[in-house]
Each structure stands twice: as C-alpha cells, then as structure tokens.
A and B are shown apart, each in its own frame.
Chain A
C-alpha cells in the first residue's frame, strides 16, 4: 500500500506549547538537527491518523515573520517555499491579543491554516473566557481550543486536520485592509507579482513585503530562481512606502 505523506507546520509565539503538542503527536517518532546553514534547531516528527501519514515540523517560536532573525527567516521560508498542507498556529489563550499578531501574518501567507488556542486550562484558571466560534468566524479558519499538557482537545484537532487535508473545510482567511495609499500601491504591484509568480506564492503578501523593502525575502526568492523578481523589486523600491 502506498500512501501520501502530508506536511504540517507548527507556528506560534515562543512558549505557547508548540513542542509540547509536537511531542504529544509524534511521541518518539521524531528527530532533531539544524536547519541547513543555520544555527536554528530543526525538529520533525511523524504520526499516522485515520490511515494518513503526517510529517510535522516544529518551527521556531517567533513574534513575527518579518525576518528580524534567523528564526523568523526559517519559519517564513518554510511556510512560503515548502507550502505545508496545513499550518497550525498555536496561540497562548492567556495572551491572545499578542499572539494574534503572528496568526494574522500567517493568514496573509496561506489559507491552509488551523488556529489552535492552547493553554485553555491556564486561561480558565485566570477567568479568561474565549468565544472560539466568534474567533473562527472573524479569522475565517477553524479554531480549536486545546490544552496540550493535559492532552485535551487533541482529537478535535486531529479531526480538523483530517477534514482540511480531505478538502472538506473551505477557509476564507481575513484580509487585513491597509491605508488607502498602501492599498493603491498593492493594487499596482499585484498584476506584476502575479505575472511572475502565478499561483505559486501569495501575491498580496509578496506585494506587501516588497513595499516594506524586505530584502531578506527578495534574497530568498532569488535563491528560488526567480530572477525576474528583480524587475518587480525595482518597481517596488521606486514606490516603496517609507514605513508600512
């Protein structure tokens, strides 16, 4: 019997329980090393659920994906270039406001996202109540409450992954509107970006990164052999907003 292997990425702020969830799902079926050329730890593991095989990557915990550090670059590049079948964004239920910053960034990059609100037990202790259904509706992707340490909510998470893999869940990630001047620049850049990358990469997100002057992303894209990107980059740098 041959089966496909699906890839899942775990993203999230530092200390939100990604590794706890990773260990819970993979048990001993995991190995660690470094990302090629980086001093950042790479951990990947495997598990099977409902006859499907999964490879899961524990991405470094970051507050952002705007490449301020090697950690952020690793996480960003994995989501953009490796295109995991599902990206799980693990949030700390006791610090939702802060954690949503990264979640919104990921939602700009891919629509194959499950938001996992972890540390629900801590939130409960602190009297924090979270309207999961409302959050899911606002974000436009499934939201699953869990407590990784107490192994609560894991079945629902696995079922949600399975449904997403089978195409049974249609997501519609929230689109963050920017100021008028930035939206105008995005509108001008979009056709060019789409012409060059097609459906390969999230065009709006790339346009935004170009307007922000994200040179690290440009370098990464060039390495992926998109030399024609220079053209778009030149265009963008002439119109780049000083600070987005």
Chain B
C-alpha cells in the first residue's frame, strides 16, 4: 500500500529540501538506499538534475549521491520550500 499523503522525492525540484518519512520498497534496493543515507527522519537537498532529467543529485548527510527515478520515486516524505510562494 503506497502512502498518499506524502510526496515522492522524485517530485522535488533542485534547490528544495525534503524530509524523508518512509521508503516504500523492500529488499536489496531498500537496503541500498538506507546504506546511501536515505533514512527516515533525515533531510535531503535536491542539488541538480542531469541534462536528460535523470539521475538527480542529492545532498544527503554531507555527501552528494545521485539516484535514478526508479529509486527516488520509492522515497516518500515532505517537500520543504524555503521561499513562501
């Protein structure tokens, strides 16, 4: 069951911060994302998308990590927008 009230990390735009709530995935990919630092509770900054839009670089616990959409779309949480539009 996919959570609906949260955003996907893949939807966040460069410059935005994102607070991870949960990973909706099991197995090796979950393990890998956790090991890379995409842990519930932690905050990620979206750095930039590659020219073709995928992968996207994220700043996560002080290191830059690039994720493909297949991966970032399994990460749910809250988009934090600094500027109040």
Q: Are chains A and B native binding partners rather than an unrelated pairing? A: yes
Residues of A within 8 A of B (CB): 13, 63-64, 66, 68, 94-95, 97-98, 101, 212, 242-243
Beta-carbon contact of B63 and A95 below 8 Å: yes
Beta-carbon contact of A243 and B35 below 8 Å: no
Beta-carbon contact of B35 and A97 below 8 Å: no
Q: Mostly helix, strand, loop or mixed at chain A's interface?
A: loop
B55 within 8 A of A: no
Beta-carbon contact of B27 and A243 below 8 Å: yes
Beta-carbon contact of B30 and A63 below 8 Å: no
Residues of B within 8 A of A (CB): 26-28, 30-32, 35-37, 60-63
Beta-carbon contact of B31 and A95 below 8 Å: no
14 contacts between A and B (CB under 8 A): A63-B35, A66-B35, A68-B28, A68-B32, A68-B35, A94-B62, A95-B61, A95-B62, A98-B60, A98-B62, A101-B35, A101-B37, A212-B31, A243-B30
Most buried by B among A63, A94, A98, A243: A98
Cβ distance A241 to chain B, nearest Cβ, rounded Å: 11
Q: Which chain B positions have C-beta within 8 A of A63?
A: 35-37
Most buried by B among A13, A94, A97: A97
The listed residue (B26, B31, B62, B63) touching A68 by CB distance below 8 A is B31
Q: Cα distance A101–B31 when bound, in Å?
A: 12
Beta-carbon contact of B32 and A98 below 8 Å: no
Given A66-B31, A66-B35, 9 more contacts at CB 8 Å?
A68-B31, A94-B62, A97-B61, A98-B37, A98-B60, A98-B62, A212-B31, A243-B26, A243-B27
Q: Cα distance A95–B65 when bound, in Å?
A: 13
Q: Which chain B positions have C-beta within 8 A of A242?
A: 26
Closest chain A residue, CB of each to CB of B26: A243
Q: Which chain B positions have C-beta within 8 A of A13?
A: 63
Q: Which chain A positions have C-beta within 8 A of B37?
A: 63, 98, 101
The listed residue (B26, B31, B61, B62) touching A64 by CB distance below 8 A is B31
Q: Cα distance A212–B34 when bound, in Å?
A: 14
Q: Cα distance A212–B35 when bound, in Å?
A: 15
Closest chain B residue, CB of each to CB of A64: B35
Q: Cα distance A135–B35 when bound, in Å?
A: 21
The listed residue (B26, B27, B28, B63) touching A98 by CB distance below 8 A is B63
Cβ distance B49 to chain A, nearest Cβ, rounded Å: 22
Q: Which chain B positions have C-beta within 8 A of A212?
A: 31
Closest chain B residue, CB of each to CB of A72: B35
Q: Cα distance A64–B32 when bound, in Å?
A: 8
Q: Which chain B positions have C-beta within 8 A of A101?
A: 35, 37
Q: Which chain A positions have C-beta within 8 A of B60?
A: 98
